[in-house]
Amino acid sequence: MIKLEALRVFVTVAESGNIKDAADAVGRTASAVSMTLKQLEEEIGGPLFQTDRKNSLTALGNLMLDLGREQIRSFDKSVSIMRAFAHSRIGSLSIASVPSVATNVLPPILQRFLETRPQVQVELFDIDTAQVRRMVESGVADIGIAGESRTGGGVEFTPLFSDRFKLLCKDDHDLCRLDRPVEWSDLKAATLIRNGASDRIEAEDYKQISARSLITVYNVTSLVAMVKTGLGLTILPSLTMYGAYEGVAALDLGDTTASRQVGLVERRDVPPSPVAAAFRAFALKEIPVLVSEQLGG
Amino acid sequence: MIKLEALRVFVTVAESGNIKDAADAVGRTASAVSMTLKQLEEEIGGPLFQTDRKNSLTALGNLMLDLGREQIRSFDKSVSIMRAFAHSRIGSLSIASVPSVATNVLPPILQRFLETRPQVQVELFDIDTAQVRRMVESGVADIGIAGESRTGGGVEFTPLFSDRFKLLCKDDHDLCRLDRPVEWSDLKAATLIRNGASDRIEAEDYKQISARSLITVYNVTSLVAMVKTGLGLTILPSLTMYGAYEGVAALDLGDTTASRQVGLVERRDVPPSPVAAAFRAFALKEIPVLVSEQLGG
DNA sequence: CACCAACTTCAATTCTTCTGAAATTGATAA
DNA sequence: TTATCAATTTCAGAAGAATTGAAGTTGGTG
């Protein structure tokens, strides 16, 4: 069977014009090169050179030089694509993330991740936790970042960081003058605007307050706008409000259990692509650090 | 270094879905296949299958399956082109021939030659001996068929057959009633029309007759038309008149030395392409047989 | 015509790949 | 969960292929 390696040797000889130089170029002795050439000629079924001085090709030799070069080029390119993919330097990465992370965490993370992978194509969806889960489960997204939800179905949850809830109110609200964390009891008389995230808080006291609420808003921008107008207060994870909004204040809560776990959502039993695996490792290492700088600092 | 053979094994395994069947398909043991796969994964830098049951590929595996298939297909095709060319089943053949051979000999020869080589592209030029030589010398034609000329320059002559000259005259001419070959002396009073071929006859007697001639015609059709009109007689190689023309007669000459050598004209020092070499061998074997059937019979 | 450099040949060696047996693994059924 | 079974992997030795260095040819050159 003809080997690509034999074609490589032949092309080198054809380009050098003699066996000695070609032998040096491929790191073999002249004798090895000579034998390879002889074998190649036998397998192809005709002479490749006009004489045994290898400086001029036969018509067959010319054809083999053209075809051989092309095969070598194409093979090497394929291999380099395979390697680049295996080492996550090329490929595509589809991320589904809750908006707070997509907005406040992912930009610098992705920038650094892509610095060494300029050929990687990224898609980023910002959607809520339930939909993140769905996108990952269906394979539309390679990896998700979302709040914790009962692990099960086809997905798996790996915690990244936890994010305490805060109270959001107008910055001239009475509660701003409190010199201590806000307790649920402080909110007895307040008008609460519910939102997608705060519904996850388990505390009974909060649930009672929440039950009285008449408004639920899922979009953060709208929510903040309503708070700013004085329509009410709301409870949101710290990260969601990171960067602060004009005219509103974010106050600590006394209930230290009021927090959400944010983590990676991945498909179970389906191994990630090299890029996804690399991003997973990168995210696991870098996101907690970044978040603790942003929130803890 | 990654080998094409390893890709072949991988593709077979990916297509079989298990190592055992793939091993049978490639004629190795399962253990050899397993080791090849392991080595391939190491060299590429990532896993190709989701588990060690080889029934589902990773993203990397899918990429390698696509690229690998394409490489294998393309390599095998290249090799088969090289082999086909080496065995003269493909390629191009440019033949330059004097018209008599091109008309009377080459059609059946080429037909039989191409019967087993339907992919070979042939070009046929019919031109005179001097130009045949020139076309072969310049490399425009791979092989020539022409009368003998001093060997030298870049070309070599190999005889194929010899072709006696005949006298061509109107079929009601007095000479037709001769019951013996025509002698040069019979032509003393005749009007001779010269042509390119007859000028090569060396006999002194002929040269004297020829010297008196006032007309020279190089085109055979025109020449025959003139003879038929009764403008004069001419001397032509037998083959040129093969098949006979209406209204004219071809008479044997007494001078048995009046003949031309027809043979192959090839470039010296430049090896023929496989197709040209095959045609050369075929022509050398078949043309003399065919011509002796046509003329000698 | 002799010389020289390039190439080829040959037998021994080295490197690679393959095999068969044994161990391990993972899925399936008890 | 454990037992079972087939597939896969591992391992060491065997077989095979490629490589080497030395000796032998060949073809071109002064």
Give me the long-range contacts of A276-282 (CB less than 8 A, separation at least 24). A276/A93, A276/A142, A276/A143, A277/A88, A278/A88, A278/A113, A278/A117, A279/A88, A279/A93, A279/A95, A279/A113, A279/A142, A279/A143, A280/A143, A282/A109, A282/A112, A282/A113
Tokens 């083959």 correspond to B239
Give the H or E element holding residue A38.
helix A30-44
> Which of A47, A67, A83 is closest, CB to CB, to B45?
A83
Separation in Å: C17 C1' and B21 CA:
20
Least Cα distance to B90 among B271, B276, B282 occurs for B276
Residue B165 contacts residue B235 (beta carbons within 8 Å): yes
The answer to whether B151 and B248 have CB atoms below 8 angstroms apart is: no
| Helix, strand, coil tally for chain A in percent (to 5) | 50, 20, 30
Chain A contact set for B79 (CB, 8 A): 2, 44
Decide: B120 and B91 in contact? Cβ < 8 Å.
Answer: yes
| Positions of chain C reached by protein Cβ under 7 A | 6-10, 17-22, 25-27
Q: Gap from A58 CA to C11 C1', in Å?
A: 32
Query: What's the pLDDT at A92?
Result: 96
- Which pLDDT belongs to residue B205? 87
pLDDT of residue A297: 59
Sign for the pseudo-dihedral over CA of A150, A151, A157, A159: positive
Cα B273–chain centre separation: 10
3-state class (DSSP) for residue A73 = helix
Please tell me which of the candidates A5, A63, A85 has its beta carbon nearest to residue B63.
A85
Distance of A198 CA from C28 C1′ (whole Å)? 46
- Between chains, do A81 and B63 touch, taking CB under 8 Å as contact? yes
Do the beta carbons of residue B179 and residue B201 sit within 8 Å? no
Residue B91's DSSP bridge partners are B120
Per-residue pLDDT of chain B (297 residues; tens, 9 = 90+): 999 999 999 999 999 999 999 999 999 999 999 999 999 999 999 999 998 788 899 999 999 999 999 999 999 999 999 999 999 999 999 999 999 999 999 999 999 999 999 999 999 999 999 999 999 999 999 999 999 877 667 888 999 999 999 999 998 888 888 889 999 989 888 889 999 888 888 888 888 888 888 889 988 888 888 999 989 999 999 998 887 678 898 999 999 899 999 999 999 888 899 999 999 999 999 999 999 998 875
Q: Are B196 and B149 in contact (CB under 8 A)?
A: no
Q: Determine the pLDDT at residue B117.
A: 97
Does any CB of chain A come closer than 8 Å to the CB of residue B288? no
The SS3 assignment for A174 reads: helix
pLDDT of residue B53: 84
| Tokens describing residue A120 | 């990687």
Residue A46 distance to chain B (closest CA, Å): 5
Number of Cβ pairs closer than 8 Å across A and B? Answer: 92
Per-residue model confidence as pLDDT tens digits over B98-123: 999 999 999 999 999 999 999 999 99
With the C-alpha atoms ordered B67, B73, B78, B83, is the resulting torsion angle positive or negative?
A: positive
Residue B42, C-beta contacts closer than 8 angstroms, at least 6 positions apart: none
Crossing angle for the helix pair A59-86 and A4-16, to the nearest 10 degrees? 120
Interchain contact A243–B (C-beta under 8 A): no
B76-B81-B83-B89 Cα dihedral, nearest 10 degrees = 140
Helix (H) or strand (E) holding A74: helix A59-86
> How do beta strands B155-170 and A155-170 pair?
unpaired
Facing residue for B71 by CB, picked from A46, A74, A86: A74
Q: Which one of A82, A92, A266, A267 would you mutate to disrupt binding with B, by most B Cβ within 10 Å of its Cβ?
A: A82
State which residue of chain B sits closest to A56, comparing Cα positions: B270
Instruction: Return the ∠ at Cα B287 (arms to B284 and B288), rounded to 5°.
Output: 85
CA of B35, C1' of C17: distance in angstroms: 10
Q: Which residues of B82-116 are buried (b: 16+ CB within 10 A; e: fewer)?
A: bbbbbbbbbbebbbbbbbbbbbbbbeebbeebeee
Chain A environment of B59 (Cβ under 8 Å): 85, 91, 271-274
Rounded Cα–Cα distance for residues B162 and B167 (Å): 17
The burial class, CB within 10 Å (0-12 / 13-18 / 19+), for A75 is buried
SS (H, E, C) chain B: CCCHHHHHHHHHHHHHCCHHHHHHHHCCCHHHHHHHHHHHHHHHCCCCECCCCCCCECHHHHHHHHHHHHHHHHHHHHHHHHHHHHCCCEEEEEEEECHHHHHHCHHHHHHHHHHCCCEEEEEEEECCHHHHHHHHHHCCCCEEEEECCCCECCEEEEEEEEEEEEEEEECCCHHHHCCCCECHHHHCCCCEEECCCHHHCCCHHHHHHHHHCCEECCCHHHHHHHHHHCCCEEEEEHHHHCCCCCCEEEEEECCCCCEEEEEEEEECCCCCCHHHHHHHHHHHHHHHHHHHHHHHC
**Residue for token pair 């080198």:** A12
**Would you state the structure tokens that stand for residue A184, as one six-digit string?**
């649920």
A270 at B interface, C-beta within 8 A: yes
Closest chain B residue to A2, measured at CA: B79
pLDDT for B22 equals 96
Asked if the C-beta of A79 comes within 8 angstroms of chain B's C-beta atoms, the answer is yes
Structure-block tokens of residue A53: 């001085």
pLDDT at A151: 65
From chain A, the residues in CB contact with B50 under 8 A are 270-271
Exposed, middle or buried, B175 (CB in 10 Å: 0-12/13-18/19+)? middle
Is A94 at the interface with chain B, CB within 8 A? no
The reply to whether residue A91 touches residue B59, judged by beta carbons under 8 angstroms, is yes
Query: In A, which residues are within 8 Å of B274 by CB distance?
Result: 46, 59-60
| Strand D nearby residues, CB < 7 A | A 3, 27-29, 31-32, 35-36, 39, 51-53; B 18-20, 30-31, 34-35, 37-38, 52-54
Helix (H, G, I), strand (E, B) or coil at A58: coil
The gap between A12 CA and C5 C1' (Å) is: 20
Give dist(CA B137, CA A267) in Å, integer.
Answer: 72
Which two three-digit tokens encode residue A274? 């090299």
Nearest residue to A287 via CA among A251, A269, A261: A261
What chain A residue is nearest to B63 in terms of C-alpha separation? A82
How far does the CA of B34 sit from the C1' of D7, in Å? 11
Burial B29-62 (b: 16+ CB within 10 A, else e): eeeebbebbeebbeebebbbbbeeebeebbbbbe
pLDDT (tens, 9 = 90+) of chain A, 297 residues, equals 999 999 999 999 999 999 999 999 999 999 999 999 999 999 999 999 998 888 899 999 999 999 999 999 999 999 999 999 999 999 999 999 999 999 999 999 999 999 999 999 999 999 999 999 999 999 999 999 999 877 667 888 999 999 999 999 998 888 888 889 999 989 888 889 999 888 888 888 888 888 888 889 988 888 898 999 989 999 999 998 887 678 898 999 999 899 999 999 999 888 899 999 999 999 999 999 999 998 875
The domains of chain B, with CATH numbers, are 4-86 (1.10.10.10), 90-160+260-296 (3.40.190.10), 164-258 (3.40.190.10)
Q: Which of A45, A58, A75 is nearest residue B83 as measured by Cβ atoms?
A: A45
